[in-house]
């Protein structure tokens, strides 16, 4: 029997070699991805996962795990199995080329033209 400094542990009468059956797959359920919104108006941000048997409990665990110590306005949970994600190996599809300046704010240099116009018309 385990004799502990903590009387509550001693009172449990635990055998020292209390071997138990090993855990089997899904004993800890599947996972949900948790999205946390700090305050109204903010985006929901992915913060991590929880293991849960159903969405309601995923919300409960998500609240404890990710809302316990920080300001929280709202939480979403999504089954990991239901998330479709791009592959990092395909990251080149996000690359942009220099000739796409036409779709960047920095591609429009109006001040250059205005200054040139002003200079020309001052004379």
Partner 1 sequence: MYGNAYIDPNEKANAMIAGEDPIKLAEFEARIARGEKIEPKDWMPKEYRKQLIRMIEQHGHSEIIGALPEGTWITRAPGFRRKMALMAKVQDEVGHAQLLYSAAETLGKSREDMTNDLITGKSKYSNVFNYPAYTWADACIIAWLIDAGAIINQVANAKGSYGPYCRALDRICTEESFHLKYGHDNVVTLATGTPIQRQMVQEALTRWWPPIMHFFGPSDKISQHSEILMRWKVKMASNDDMRQQFLNMYVPKIWDLGLVLPDPNLKLNEETKKWDYTEPDWEEFKRVINGGGPCNAERLAVRRMAEERGRWVRKALYNATEKYVTPLA
d(CA 28, CA 52): 7
Q: Please state the closest distance from residue 71 (CB atom) to partner 1, in A.
A: 13
Q: Quote the tokens at residue 68.
A: 């316990």
- In the complex with partner 1, the residue whose CB is nearer, 21 or 105, is 21
Q: Please state the closest distance from residue 83 (CB atom) to partner 1, in A.
A: 6
- In the complex with partner 1, the residue whose CB is nearer, 19 or 110, is 19
Binding site for partner 1 (CB under 8 A): 2, 4-6, 8-9, 12, 14-20, 22-31, 33, 46-51, 53-54, 57, 64-65, 68-69, 79-81, 83, 85, 87-88
- In the complex with partner 1, the residue whose CB is nearer, 81 or 110, is 81
Rg over alpha carbons for the chain, rounded to the nearest Å, is 29
Helix (H, G, I), strand (E, B) or coil at 43: coil
Triad 50, 32, 28: Cα angle to 5°: 55
Q: Are strands 30-37 and 74-79 parallel, antiparallel or unpaired?
A: antiparallel
Q: Please state the closest distance from residue 54 (CB atom) to partner 1, in A.
A: 7
Q: Quote the tokens at residue 51.
A: 């293991």
- In the complex with partner 1, the residue whose CB is nearer, 33 or 75, is 33
């Amino acid at each position: 029997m385990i004799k502990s400094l903590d009387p509550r542990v001693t009172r449990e009468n635990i055998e020292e070699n209390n071997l138990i059956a090993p855990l089997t797959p899904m004993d800890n359920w599947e996972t949900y991805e948790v999205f946390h919104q700090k305050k109204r108006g903010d985006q929901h941000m992915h913060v991590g996962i929880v293991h849960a048997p159903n969405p309601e409990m995923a919300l409960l665990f998500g609240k404890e795990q990710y809302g316990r110590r920080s300001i929280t306005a709202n939480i979403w949970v999504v089954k990991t199995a239901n998330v479709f994600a791009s592959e990092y190996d395909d990251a080149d599809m996000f690359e942009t080329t220099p000739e796409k300046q036409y779709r960047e704010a920095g591609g429009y240099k109006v001040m250059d033209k205005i200054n040139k116009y002003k200079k020309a018309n001052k004379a």
